[in-house]
Every structure is written in structure tokens, then in C-alpha cells.
Structure 1
Amino acid sequence: MAAERYEGLADFVKRGRGALAAGPVALIFAEDEVEVESTIRHHAGLGFRAIVLFAPEALALAGEAAELVHRVDWDTRAEGAVTAAVNAVIGAAPGVWLYTCYNAEYLFYPFCETRSVGEMLAFHAEERREAMLAYVVDLYAADLGRFPDAVSRETAMIDRTGYYALARPDPATGHPRERQLDFHGGLRWRFEEHVPRDRRRIDRIALFRAKRGLRMLEGHVFDDEEMNTYACPWHHNLTAAICSFRAAKALKTNAGSTFDIADFKWRGSVPFEWSSRQLLDLGLMEPGQWF
């Protein structure tokens, strides 16, 4: 299906069913113009059957990137805008694998250099899994003097250490939920005084199969609790990583934090190699039983 532009979410749900006919489908939410084209190209290279870009009407996009996406005019910064869009797509595409991310974010999964996202999800589905946990691994420029918005793909750094998990309590019982954890680390941990408490988690259910009645909730979790688990009861499953400039960009463009941060580098910083092997070696994603 040729890429097309839609005048809002309702128009896309009405006319864009062809883009959602077969998955996996990537839903990319552009909050600004930073690295939108590289985000599109990266995910196109992973083998998504379709890429849907939700972006403000004024965002400029041309050339190859424009040809690769189905574009939906959408105020991505409005309260609840991402959740509303995802839930509308879920309702329009039952049975289809979906993926969600923002601009300046890049999906990695085990062996992604040689295996397509469709192959990976086919294996995951064979293990009777309908969702996949992804860790948001913060990227940041090595030199904030040269890159004041903290975004530089060529000099990107990541934290090799400083990640941890806490039990996720069930509000109804106060007991930990089975096979669910709240994961923390990266810039949201090191600069937590500048990050609201409800935005400090780095876990996200980023890949999932749509089904009738399913709803995504705030915080990138779902109303089906089994879909929020990191593994099935009998063994470890695949997990993925979303390498993201989003936190760094926010911390350096927000007036409340930018002057308090002279550098993101610390003793745990290492150059990002843009490879799944580095992320596997650092324990930032899990191959499960997939080899």
C-alpha cells in the first residue's frame, strides 16, 4: 500500500485500514523534529510491514522518509494523545502485531542485524506470548558543548551500569504482581530530581498483538495484566531495547533542568556501538530461548 497522509486519527482509522492489514506495524510518535527521518529509516530497516507516523501538521518531512510512512496529523504532545491513538489503532487492527516509539528512539532486539522483526515476533508468538517487554536505554551526546540538545548519533553514549528493578505492587492487594517489575536506571535514575516520579520507569510494553477490547493505559502498560509480564511462567522470554535520546533531550531543553546539568558522562558511560551484541553483553535485553 502506497504511503498516504491522513487528516487526523479518525481519518486514518476510516481510510487507513490497508496500512494495518498485516503486521508488524510500527507506530512512531514525533514530538518534535529531532531525528525523525533517522527513526523512520531505522525501523524500516528492521522489516516492519508498515510504518505510521503520528506528527503535528507543521512537521516537515520529505524525500525517502516521507515515502516510507503513512502520516497522520496528530498533536502528539496533547494530554493522553499517544494512548488515544494507540487504542484507536488496536480497535482497527485486531490480531496485528504493533510497536510504539517516539522520534529519536531506535528498536534493538537480539540478532536484529540478521533477523527481521517479523521473524523475531513469529518465534515469540510460538511461545504463546502476546506482548514483549522493552527496556528504554538512554542515549546522550558525549559533548554537550557541541550538542546542546544532547542528541548526536555519531557520539552517542549509554550507561553500562546502574540498572535495577523493584517489585510492582498490586494496588488492590498491596502484594507484588507476578512476573512484573518496575525497572529503573539511566538518566531518569541519575537525574531523578528532575524527573516526575511517575516517569522514572524505563520499562515499556512496546511490542504487542492487538486484540478486541484491549486498552493501553498510561505508562505503556495494558489492562490485560499478563501482557505486562516480562516472561511466561515456565522460562525466560525474549526482551528488546529501545535506545532513546528522549530523556537526554528533555533534560537539556527543559529550563528547569538544563542549567543544573553540565555533562551526562560519568564513570559508567561507554560509547554506544549501535549493535544488539553490546546490549546483550550488558544485560540490557534477553534472547530467551531464541538462538
Structure 2
Amino acid sequence: MTFAFPRRILASLVVVGALGLAGCGDATSTAALRVGSQSVSADFLDTILTQLGDAGQIKIENGQVPPESSRSVLNALYRGEATKELLAKYGVEVTEADRTKVRTQVSQDAAFSNLGEDLQELIISLNAGDLALARITAPSEEDLKNMYETAPASLGMMCVAHLVVKEESTAREALDVLNTGEKFATVAAKYSIEPGADKSGGVLGSADGDCIPLSDYQTQFDKDFVAGALNAKAGVPTGPVKSSFGYHVIYVRPFDDVKLSVKTLIATNPGEFLIKGYMATADVKIGSKYGRYNPATGTIVAN
């Protein structure tokens, strides 16, 4: 996957962002972003924003960058720094062959040579990082189980059942029943107002199995529901969680109940699932002037 030129470079950064620039962190400058051992300095972010402005990709007026533009670029840079951490964890390196492949592709567009040097290097690094990310292999079943039971979303997917009711008191009543040991499917069939819950047991799955990519939750589901699901522990009914649909009790299904679906889904693109999961569960710090990372939407948002 490579950036398209001369079309919107900023949009490409947001969509493709994978590996941040080596050395873009600077201990002598205020950090715009920190995650794990990686950081992005405010100076580096300003440089990239300036070069995007020079390229006509963002509008800068009186020296001011629109906040949404800063957050969009930070989203890409966060993925970049997170990818560094993930590649190191799995022992995968960005090779010179990766960089050469990307450099050859982007140099075919004459517009690339007119970009600022830092922006050029970032684009090459982002795409080379994507190539390296694609070489990550799926963890063993034991590692998958450990990751799932520690932080279910760390696998980049959610394997959830839920029930939804109109009143908070009803949700609490259902939760009390679940805490007696009653099966979730039975309680969902009795209480949930969701059509078909009597047959589905409240399972939120897909045609391909019991789990749904986290990215689908972040882009298609009610954000308050997603936040509740991200905070839930495997095998523990959680709630009530209020959303635009009512009050939910959320149940992240035990690993042994969904392991076949987990293994099948993650095998389709291990690196992509793992980077999404890492970003949603990592301890990321965003400079307060820019906003905060919201794992429920997978984006940096205003404070």
C-alpha cells in the first residue's frame, strides 16, 4: 500500500500511517505524543504540519493550524510509534529492501520531489513500516489466550454478547440474575429488547464467526457501547452501560468459547489486528493542547 500523489497527502497519512520516523522523538522538546518507549516531539509535529501546509494539503492561516488537522496527523504518528513498539515485540525489522520498494514507487510521481524532506522521509517510513507489519505472524494459541484474558481488545477484535433494555433498573436486575451464575444467553433471551435475542443469545458476531474486528466497532457502533465493551473483562458480565439504544449488559465471551473464531480471524492479517489492538489498549499520552486518544473511536479527539 502506498501513498497517492498528488492527491490529498494528509488523507493518505491518516489512512496508511504505520511506522513513524526514527528519531522523531526529542527529549529536549515537549512531546506531542508518547507511547511505550517512543515519542513524537511537538517540534517534529510542527515541521510536518508546516510542510503539509506548504504542499497545500492543510490550510494554515496566520501561522495557526486547524486543530482537526493536528489531530489527524497525530493519529498517523501514533500508529507509527505504536508500530515501532509492536515490531520490536515480535522481532520484525523494517529492512532497506522495504524502504527501497517504497522509494521506487513514490518517486514515480513527480509531485513527491516537491515535498519537504521531513515529509518525504515520513511517507517512506510509514509505507515501509506497513510492509514490515505485514510480516508479523499470528501468536500461538497460548499467547492469544493470555492476551485475550488480560485485555480482550489487544487482539484487535471483540467477541461480545450483550443484552439491551430500556430502563437502567431492568439492566441491573438482569445483571443480578447473571451474577447468580445463570447463562448469559438465557438471560439475554428473557430480558433483551433486541430483535432475535431469543435465538442469538445476544451474541454480536458476523457471518465469519463469533468475533468482529475492533475497527468495525470503532467506526460502526455506538461509541459509549464500545467504551463499555473495551472496559469489560473476559467472562465477567459488565454494566449497566448506557448508549443511544438503551442500557446494556455486556459480556466479553470467554476465550475457550471463541478461540476458533479468534484464531481464524487473526490469521487473515495478524499485523493489522495486533496494531489495532495495541493502539486501543496501550498507555498513550497526547499533549493536552492537541486532545486525547479515544480508543472507542480509534482517533485522537478534542479534550
Normalised-by-shorter TM-score class: under 0.3
| TM-score, normalisation: structure 2 | 0.27
The structure richer in helix per residue is: 2
Max radius of gyration: which structure?
2
